[in-house]
């Protein structure tokens, strides 16, 4: 993490007293600076993301806890229709005053307070991705697409069936046609 350029989600903690137990509320919304999500569904760039919660002083830094709300758009994995999905992700992240000395080797790089700012973009990104379904679908009942013709199965409520012909019989049928000498060209 460079930490040099603050995102729109950088929260100033200038007014938060550096004393455990002190807290301040955060409530804001911003257009997302980037696409946040996975291939099939995401919060698109410039979609509004709202965060509401609080920032608390703790001994080693500040703890941010907030609810993230936005609308993700994507497509149904079954029928490929466009769909929208409200996101409600909860994030909680500790931002340190300085790199903790007791950090384990395999721990994630700690987030730091930088110029009296905490940047919530990375936690928001992680929280939103965790909240997204890996296989979004337009409804539980979505029947998806017919593997034979690619049409939506639901478009034919009377029963979407195709006459399935065993390929061996189909080949035999062609031979019979040739024997019959009907002269018809395929
Ligand atoms: Zn669907
Ligand atoms: Zn079909």
pLDDT of residue 177: 64
φ, ψ (nearest 5 deg) of residue 62: -130, 145
pLDDT of residue 168: 66
Task: Kindly give, in sequence order, each residue whose CB lies less than 8 Å from that of residue 67, ignoring residues fewer than 6 positions away.
Answer: 51, 52, 53, 88, 89, 90
Ligand closest to Cα of 137 equals 1
What is the residue-averaged pLDDT of the chain?
86
Cα dist. 69→15, 39, 49 in Å?
25, 20, 6
**Which residues neighbour ligand 2 (ion) by CB within 5 Å?**
146, 148-149
**What's the confidence (pLDDT) of residue 169?**
63
Contact 121, 7 (CB under 8 A): yes
CB 36 within 8 A of CB 47: no
The SS3 of residue 88 is strand
| Mean pLDDT, residues 89-99 taken together | 94
Please give the structure tokens belonging to residue 54: 């609080």
Q: What percent of the chain has pLDDT over 90?
A: 65
| Mean predicted confidence (pLDDT) in 158-178 | 67
Average pLDDT over residues 157-174: 67
- DSSP state, 154? G
Among 68-72, 138-142, 161-165, name the one with the lowest average pLDDT: 161-165
- Residue 78 CA, ligand 1 centroid: distance in Å: 5
161 alpha carbon – ligand 2 mean position (Å): 6
Average pLDDT over residues 54-80: 96
The tens digit of pLDDT for each residue in 105-159 reads 777 788 999 999 999 999 999 999 999 999 999 999 998 998 888 888 888 767 7
- Each domain of the chain, given as residue ranges in start order, spans 10-131, 145-181
Cβ neighbours of residue 173 closer than 8 Å, sequence gap 6 or more: none
Residue where the block lists tokens 């909680």: 92
- pLDDT of residue 186 exceeding 50: no
Helices (H) and strands (E) in the chain, counts: 2, 9
| pLDDT at residue 166 is higher than 90 | no
- pLDDT at position 134 is 92
Give the residue among 93, 78, 82, 99 at the shortest CA–CA distance from 146: 78
Whether the per-residue pLDDT at 8 is higher than 50: the answer is yes
Between CA 154 and CA 18 the distance in angstroms is 60
Task: Report CA(145)–ligand 2 centroid distance (Å).
Answer: 8
């Amino acid at each position: 993490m460079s930490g040099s350029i603050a995102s729109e989600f950088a929260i100033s903690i200038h007014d938060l007293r550096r004393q455990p137990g002190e807290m301040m509320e955060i409530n804001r919304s911003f257009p997302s600076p980037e696409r946040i999500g996975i291939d099939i569904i995401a919060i698109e760039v410039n979609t509004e993301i709202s965060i509401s919660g609080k920032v608390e002083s703790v001994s080693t830094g500040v703890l941010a806890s907030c609810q993230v709300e936005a609308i993700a758009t994507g497509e149904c994995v079954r029928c490929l229709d466009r769909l929208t999905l409200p996101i409600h992700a909860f994030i909680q992240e500790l931002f340190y005053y300085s790199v903790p000395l007791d950090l384990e080797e395999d721990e994630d790089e700690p987030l730091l307070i930088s110029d009296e700012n905490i940047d919530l973009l990375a936690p928001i990104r992680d929280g939103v991705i965790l909240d997204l379904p890996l296989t979004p679908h337009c409804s539980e009942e979505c029947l998806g697409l017919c593997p034979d013709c690619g049409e939506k199965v639901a478009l034919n409520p009377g029963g979407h069936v195709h006459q399935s012909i065993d390929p061996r019989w189909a080949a035999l049928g062609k031979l019979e046609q040739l024997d019959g000498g009907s002269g018809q060209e395929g």
